[in-house]
Chain A
């Protein structure tokens, strides 16, 4: 590189120089998004929103660590995990929009906002389908680590099975996600073992983090009607089918860390409804108020 060449091309007309392209590209561009036979588009969209919103909201919480992590290496690692989840969210939201366009909020005529962004930035809280586990305040590093361990252990077990979904799009998304989640789970597990064994303080904080995160774990194991229907069609995974495996894996990590599975009361839902039904904790409203603020101020904006 010489002194002049760094600026070459900035004013050129060749779009291929931009790593991400100068125009928005549908993350599913070129992918056949036809529904598999007999599958209800609305149910598939709802399912994709569940998994997509889990990733989007957890990614948001992890990205809050940027410039705040305990050291530079961890700052970079958490950003990596957040980026992976954001990528999964984009694909899943795009799949939801393709499966059932009616889930996408309607924007003013001529708005250039693509479906994935309309779903992320213009949906209200009660249309978000993520589990409540992922939306809580980022807390200290122990809370983030324990939450990531639970979320990534569950998601990896799920995605490993979803890779054989009858929906070719979901199956491809899952196959890609498995590689990423294996790293996330490993990273979180190593930290839980380190923190559980490290110092008195790190142990105390990790126990407190377990007490914060565990009450919301049960929601991951609960089968929603949408999951039941689609699992029967060979499109989705029934979370009941991964619950035992997740238990064993989490027990292994806690045992290696010398930590006990906490005895806690579960955080109840509202009239039997929880995050998957669009009923959330108070934290999600604040996440969305922040995340959606710029996009909503410019509904016809081009970014």
Chain B
């Protein structure tokens, strides 16, 4: 068999696996474009978890009750854990965590634009849980069935935890809405700020999303951006009513004919600006990550040096034994 024939056969096997919604595993042959797309997407997802620790972490030391402090700290800790699973999934594609971290702090790989918005009140902790984690789940649940095995399995675990976080966020907002007028105003103001950025989390409209078609053909992505956005709005509007907050979009109305809620258009220019690096916190988030990484270098070096000393000592012992 010539190399071309061989490649064609491998491609056919790959296509068959994807077509029957089976999993591609790390040792399986895969097209280079598929591997690259996965690395880009999984890394971006891992970076989002790690950068996403900052906006909520901002409130850990100021959480207004010990119970909320414990919940928030545990939640941000979960995000670090999600980052770990996802970097590990990425490592199965031949890229190391260290390389990916470099790409992040060099600004060469992206993370979810939502984390470039600031958290300005404690209500934001609840709003992020409800809307941001809610949007993340809507985005991520279909990924549990994604074609790449390690990614899909990581997503199953992550989605379970995210769903839990969303409930905690909603519950915090519910509790605050039963509190004082000042607390209710705090919740409304927070929802006003996060609603549109949350809608933008699904990415640009389908007609402006260049990668969607190929990702869907490869079974990496299962729904289009607009489909997911609609699903999110449909689920969120009744929750907002229950909470007693107003979503800052006068266009929201039930459309019986479509069987969906109509809603307005996010400001795509703002989205493009944030993606370009001109959001309120882009520079701050990367600077924080870079500082933590650089300040930790001596500790990682010490751990490597110590491990090498231990290995050498063990080897010496084995030789003499």
Contacts and interface: CB of A to CB of B under 8 A. Distances in A.
A73 B172 CA distance: 28
Nearest to B285: A67
Contacts of A79: 73-74, 76-77, 80
Interface string A127-149: 00000000000001100000000
A303 B59 CA distance: 14
Which residue, B61, B134, B164, has most C-beta atoms of chain A within 10 A?
B61
A67 B242 contact: no
A82 B71 CA distance: 12
Nearest to A193: B306
A117 B171 CA distance: 19
A117 B54 CA distance: 25
B154 interface: no
Interface in A62-94: 63-64, 66-76, 79-80, 82-83, 86-87, 89-90, 93
A302 B62 contact: no
A215 B306 CA distance: 28
A298 B185 CA distance: 13
Interface in B118-156: 122, 134, 137-138, 141-142, 144, 156
Interface stretch (A6-14, A225-233, A267-275): A6-14
A282 interface: no
A67 B138 CA distance: 25
Contacts of A87: 70
A69 B292 contact: yes
Given A72-B84, A120-B66, A295-B64, A302 B178 contact: yes
Interface stretch (A162-170, A198-206, A236-244): A198-206
A60 interface: yes
B64 A290 contact: no
Most chain B Cβ neighbours within 10 Å, of A10, A22, A113: A10
Interface residues of B, number: 71
B176 to A, nearest CB: 7
Given A11-B242, A66-B57, A89 B66 contact: yes
A10 B303 CA distance: 44
Which of A6, A120, A291, A302 has the most chain B CB atoms closer than 10 A to its own CB? A6
Tell me the interface secondary structure of chain A in the complex.
helix
Nearest to A62: B73
A72 B80 CA distance: 6
A1 interface: yes
Counting chain B CB atoms within 10 Å of each CB, the highest count among A56, A70, A141 belongs to: A70
Best-buried of A69, A193, A290 by chain B (most CB within 10 Å): A69
B210 to A, nearest CB: 25
Contacts of A60: 61
A291 B180 CA distance: 21
Given A1-B144, A10-B170, 20 more contacts: A1-B141, A1-B160, A2-B141, A6-B141, A7-B137, A18-B167, A19-B164, A22-B174, A66-B73, A73-B84, A75-B53, A76-B80, A93-B66, A121-B64, A197-B309, A201-B302, A202-B298, A295-B64, A301-B180, A303-B122
Interface of B: 50, 53-54, 57, 59-71, 73-74, 76-77, 80-81, 83-84, 87, 122, 134, 137-138, 141-142, 144, 156, 159-160, 163-164, 166-168, 170-172, 174-176, 178-180, 182-183, 231, 235, 238-239, 242, 288, 292, 295-303, 305-306, 309
- Nearest first, the 10 closest Cβ-Cβ pairs linking A and B are A198-B302, A70-B296, A202-B302, A302-B179, A70-B299, A79-B77, A295-B64, A67-B53, A294-B64, A303-B65
Interface of A: 1-3, 6-7, 9-11, 17-20, 22, 24, 56, 60, 63-64, 66-76, 79-80, 82-83, 86-87, 89-90, 93, 112-114, 116-117, 120-121, 140-141, 193-195, 197-199, 201-202, 205, 290-291, 293-295, 298, 300-303
